Structure 1
Amino acid sequence: MSTSTSKYVVSEQPLGTARHIRVITIGAGASGLNMIRTLRQKLTNYEHIVYEKNPSVGGTWYENRYPGCMCDIPAHNYQFSWKQNPRWCTFLASAEEIEQYLCKIYEDEKMEPEIKTSHRVTSAIWDGEKSSWRLKVENLQTKEVFDDSCQFLLDASGILNNWKWPDIPGLNTFKGDLLHTANWPDDFDYSGKRVAVIGNGSSGVQIMPTLQKDVKKLIQFVRSPLWVVPPVQHTLLTDKSHDILREVEMDGDKFTAGQIERFVADPEYHLRFVKMVEEEINDRFSLLIKDSQAASYAMQGLVQYMMAALGGNPRLMKALIPNFSVGCRRLTPAVGYLECLRASNVRVVTDPITEIVENGIKTSTGEIVEIDVLVCATGFDVSFCPRFPIVGRDGVDLRDLWGDGKIPKAYMSVAVPGFPNYFTFLGPNAPIGHGSVLTITEHIATYITTLLHKSQTESIRSLAPSLAATEDFYEHIEAFMPRTAWTSSCRSWFKNGEAGGVVRALHPGSRIHWFHMLECIRGEDWEFKYEKNGGRGEKGNRFSYLGNGFSTKELGGGDKSWYLGTLKEDPRVKDANIGVEDGDPKVGER
């Protein structure tokens, strides 16, 4: 018998009762939109608001609209599993078409009530006494700053949206048009002009073929070589192992009208196509294992492809074909890029830039390349460091933990020690090196929602991963990464642009490996604080959720003998797991 003098009081609510919680999500890109749907599907008795800084939803696909912008994942796989779109026009979808897809989800799912556009979160501070997050939010239209709060804060602000200018002396002295690919002005006319592009990452190689058709002169300044892969539809649709892929009708990179109608008319056929493409993409993780036979074959094939696409030009081959491992930089299906470099109005410059001057770019040779337009395809800040204060326990700011060159560490990429009830989408070390992020974010949402439901129904006030579990996770990451191409000597955003840096962005394994890892909640890795009860103060009682001895599974209209099997036709509500909301009458009052 317990000798405790605490005045523990039995709750009069049944087991399974879901207490009310308030959730705030930052960002209405793909992750934020999917989170709305996941919460609706899996939780009861909650309130959810999404703050989005842009005037519309879509995230990176609202912001990135430079000429030629597209996704490097096949369109039919760059979609949510719960919102299939059989009407994609091209094998690789344009930014405009992806934005339209996300906006249609917003409209079809009637998400407007949960989203406040043109609202930017400017600070988030954990209140340990109240077990809640206190936020400052700015209405970007009215400039009003107001307070808000929630029990759970979900950060879906993304990693590829904080674009950055290159650190080059004299950049702001340039008298021509200075542009960044991630902030492209609507209707900008570049035709007939002398245009320079700095950078050959994904945006740099996508914009080049489009600009080349209309400019007078196009100069690309290249600092590093890169592996360019053949168009994805060519490598997948010629695969001898899958008839369904080979039979797809294409007109260049577009699906024929007949093919689109077949996708629409036969959902089973469409799903088979999607699954086949997905499996082919997932299988390519083996190429990223350093010194593997698959990696060796891939390198040989890519060298031959790039040599042919560059027309055997010795100078271009020396500048662009790497000697580092395949996949050290993200593999880029840059449609038309290599071919456009051979055009008479295109020049590739590998001499380092020393200065930007009023009329052009000065290189290390002393040459001044005169231009009218300077396009910076120089990417994003991918340090994972927040742009506003996120302050957890003991006044610790996440910017101090992850800023100033420090290695950002997140438990399984989704949570941070010392930051209770805070979750991130696509945080450090997520599996974003290959495959679609939309299916990734679906798994993150399910994982987070499972933890929210656990908190609602098990009297948990706050939860955060332990520091010990997170350090063990990163010990494994550091030991595993040398097996991969990502640690080769190349400049990559996976390593925040540092040739010999630590791989910050990627998971130590395949996408399937990561999905598998997130299937279960490892309770032993988490620190829980429980609801106060009676005289037990801060400690709470972890079993107070057991309540009055009854279960929500036996109350209401559900199947009360589900454990004996389910009748084919049962007029009762089949989901016996719906929680009883706070405020429901006690069992004795029913």
Structure 2
Amino acid sequence: MSTITLPLESHSNPRPFRIKHEDANAVLGAKSTTPVNDVLPTIETSSKVAIIGAGFAGITTSITCLEKLMEDDIVIFEKHDNFGGTWYANTYPGCASDIPALWYSLSYALNTNWSRIQPPQYELEEYILEVVKKYNLRKYAQFKRVVTKLVYNEKAANWTMFIRDLTNGQLIKHTAKIVASCQGGLVNPRHFEAKGLEDFQGHYMHSAIWDHDVSLEGKNVTVIGNGCSANQVVPRILKDYNPKSVTQIVRSKHYIYPPLPYFIYQIYQFLSFSFFGLFLIRWVVCILSEIKYPLSKRGAFGSFLRWIIRKQSLEYMTSAAPEKYHEKLIPNYKIGCKRLIFDYDYLPCLHDEKMLLTDKPIDHITKDSIVFTDSEEVKADIIIACTGYDFRKSFHSYEIIGRKGTDIGAIWTKEGPSAYKTVLVRDCPNFFFIGGPNASPGHSSVIMSLESSCIFFEKLSYQILRGRIISICVKTEKYNEWYKTTQEELQKAVFGTPYGGCTAWFNDGKYNTATYPYSQIHFWWVMSHPIWKDLDLEEPDLKRRRIIRKLRFKRD
């Protein structure tokens, strides 16, 4: 465990720390497709471990392989041309972490010089690249490679991965003993759709595919949405880009909390002289985050906690926002039903004379305007869609065919994506999700969730890589039991449920595929203590005949 100190080159020159617009649009755009060229010869490769994705999850898994499992026969497949995942692809003005960076970073690579509590995108990407350099991960990565299909071979007890090279469409067939899926959930933009959009003669872009070459100066800018992305991008447009006007179209309401207190950053600076000082303040933030967990649950304490936090939020919102917008901004559902937004300067910027906030429904788009259902019209030169992500699409981004020809995508289409303890999928031996279904904390940092998942991955993969076990797969009944228990528990929480009083992107009314139903301390404990009797284990000395019995293993 050691510290990292950033050169902070990204502040003077952010371009090397963000994806090129044409590359992002080719992969994430509304009309993006994967090229196919079967004239070129198929490339066949192999490794013991294959990792899909080079964001935080892929990086954490790679380091686990190298540092914990002492296994360097790994390959990382990434569709972009660099590490970073969403922190490389999302580059809109104002894009920043909504979690304190000393908590939204790896516990064994703590940074000594964050520029602020919630640093901007380019600084987070710079941190990620410093971690990559520290652990020499680049030599294991293959960029611009998209996984299209996984097929499990029961006889060989390995996976065949079908991968396309985005530069020329060439097919790569890669075999791996273990596959770790680390592609993340907030990847595929949910593109805005409206009648007449195809006739719009201005410039349209999703916030997740930002075109920095488009000038906003002197333009009528319309922002659709008011979630986290919109709350970050609107004040930056007003302050840094000199638009003629900004119209923000509110589609739902969110609780907005005051900016995090500056004293947290001052304490961080005071303790940043050593790893142990940073580790201490990190765990203070962790404990404070865990204290908030009950606000998502039923019960007297949860109700009391929600009352306190809602009161603080409403006091801030009513004092910071113009009174004429209060009705459009202030929610009436339980706090926690949607993700709480920590403000920087969004609510104060609504006082700007160039700013118009409206919650009128859109009827259609013309060549140079947006027309509402009441026939009112606003001029638009640029439309920016802050409409979020298609979370479930991430779990259907490639086909998965498990043992006995089981089509996992078909099961998920019917039942919803799921994974036992967020990591293991039925009929998929030696396949692991890191940051999988229901792994996202509703109150804390996803980085802790990823590190906890890697503890589970380490404990199981160790047995496979050392040859003690040929394959490990969750029993189907335990997979189903976890799915049922998880969904029932989440219906008791506030996350996008009737109890919470709202709808949210992670819950479509049938099931919640995103949120973990318990605390992150609970998640860490579950990941640290595998229940071996829940697993099908294929042992080499029994010639690959599955046995079902309780086992406990000791390391070499």
User: Which bin holds the TM-score, normalised by the shorter protein?
Assistant: 0.7 to 0.9
Alignment pair present for 1:127 and 2:133 = no
> 1:49 is matched with which residue: 75, 85, 108?
75
In 1: Cα distance, 2:75 partner to 2:47 partner:
12
- CA distance in 2: counterparts of 1:301 and 1:167, whole angstroms: 36
SS of the aligned residue for 1:426 comes to: coil
Q: Give the 3 Å change call, closer, same or farther, for CA 538–40 of structure 1 in structure 2.
A: closer
| Contact 2:538-2:547 within 8 A present in 1 as well | no
1:374-389, aligned counterparts within 5 Å?
Answer: 374-383=383-392, 384-389=394-399
Q: Which has the higher contact order (CA 8 A, sep 6+)?
A: 1
Which residue pairs with 2:255 in the alignment? 227
2:295–2:336 Cα contact (<8 Å) kept: yes
User: 1:541 Cα deviation (Å)?
Assistant: 7.8
Q: Which of 318, 322, 329 pairs up with 2:338?
A: 329
Cα distance in 1, alignment partners of residues 395 and 144 from structure 2: 22
CA distance in 1 between counterparts of 2:399 and 2:276 reads 48
1:30 to 36, 56, 60: 56
Contact 1:122/1:389 (<8 A) preserved: yes
Partner in structure 2 of residue 468 of structure 1: 477
Question: For the Cα contact (< 8 Å) 2:257–2:312, is it kept in 1?
Answer: no
Deviations 1:96-125 (A, max 9, x none): 100000001111211122111122212111
Q: CA contact under 8 A between 2:110 and 2:278: conserved in structure 1?
A: no
Q: Alignment partner of 1:474: what SS?
A: helix
Deviations 1:532-558 (A, max 9, x none): x5xx65427899x99xxxx9x9xxxxx
User: When the two structures are aligned, how many residues end up with a matched partner?
Assistant: 501
SS at match of 2:110: coil
Counterpart Cα distance in 2 of 1:429 and 1:332: 21
The alpha-carbon deviation at position 21 of structure 1 amounts to: 7.2
Indicate yes or no: 2:184 matched with 1:158.
yes
Measured in 2, the distance between the counterparts of 1:292 and 1:541 equals 47
Q: In the alignment, which residue of structure 2 is the partner of 1:286?
A: 294
C-alpha distance in 1, partners of 2:547/2:251? 59
- 1:398 aligns with one of 383, 408, 423: 408
Task: Output the CA distance in 1 between the equivalents of 2:110 and 2:54.
Answer: 19
> Using the alignment, how far apart are the partners of 1:541 and 1:468 within structure 2?
15
The answer for the alignment partner of 1:491 in structure 2 is 503
Deviations 1:455-477 (Å, cap 9, x if unpaired)?
A: 23463222211121122223322
Alpha carbons of structure 1 residues 70 and 108: separation in structure 2 relative to 1, 3 Å: same
The equivalent position to 1:318 in structure 2, one of 309, 318, 327, is: 327
Which deviations, in whole Å up to 9, do the C-alpha atoms of 1:52-109 show, x marking residues without a partner? 1111100000000000000100111111011010110011111110000000111121
SS in 2 for 1:385: helix
- The equivalent of 1:507 in structure 2 is 516
Candidates 100, 115, 137, aligned match of 1:111:
137
CA displacement 1:295-349 (0-9 Å, x = unmatched) = 11222221121111114x1x41111100101011111113111111221111111
CA positional deviation for 1:29:
0.6
Q: Judging changes above 3 Å, is the alpha-carbon distance between structure 1 residues 83 and 231 closer, same or farther for their aligned structure 2 residues?
A: same
The CA distance in 1 between the partners of 2:50 and 2:276, in whole Å, is: 37
Preserved CA contact (<8 Å) 1:386 1:398: no
Q: After alignment, is 67-76 or 342-351 more displaced?
A: 342-351
2:428 counterpart (419, 422, 426): 419
Instruction: Indicate the SS of the match to 1:347.
Output: strand
Alignment-mate amino acid for residue 425 of structure 1: I
User: Structure 2 regions of 5+ residues with no counterpart?
Assistant: 1-45
Give % identity: 27
How many angstroms does 1:154 deviate by? Answer: 0.7
Is 1:410 the counterpart of 2:438? The answer is no
Which secondary structure does the structure 2 equivalent of 1:354 belong to?
strand
Alpha-carbon offset, residue 403 of structure 1: 2.9
Among residues 534, 539, 542, which one is paired with 2:545 in the alignment? 539
Assess if the C-alpha contact under 8 Å between 2:536 and 2:547 holds in 1. no
**Structure 2: distance between partners of 1:266 and 1:507:** 33
Partner of 2:228: 202
Q: Aligned to 1:220, what secondary structure does the other structure show? A: strand
Structure 1: gaps of 5 or more residues = 1-19, 238-244, 251-258, 554-576, 579-590
SS at match of 1:374: strand
- Secondary structure at the counterpart of residue 356 of structure 2: strand
TM-score (norm 1): 0.80
Mapped to 2, the partners of 1:348 and 1:45 lie a distance apart of 54
Query: In the alignment, residue 489 of structure 1 is paired with which amino acid?
Result: G
For the aligned residue pairs, the C-alpha RMSD in angstroms reads 2.4
Question: Could you state the TM-score of these two structures normalised by the residue count of structure 2?
Answer: 0.85
CA distance in 1, matches of 2:314, 2:150: 49
Larger mean CA deviation between 318-327 and 38-47 belongs to: 38-47
Q: Which residue of 1 aligns with 2:312?
A: 301
Residue 436 of structure 1 aligns with which residue?
A: 445
CA distance, structure 2, for counterparts of residue 415 and residue 490 of structure 1: 30
One-letter code aligned to 1:310: A
The residue that corresponds to 2:244 in the other structure is 216
Structure 2: distance between partners of 1:45 and 1:207: 42
Q: Hey, what does 1:581 align to over in structure 2? A: none
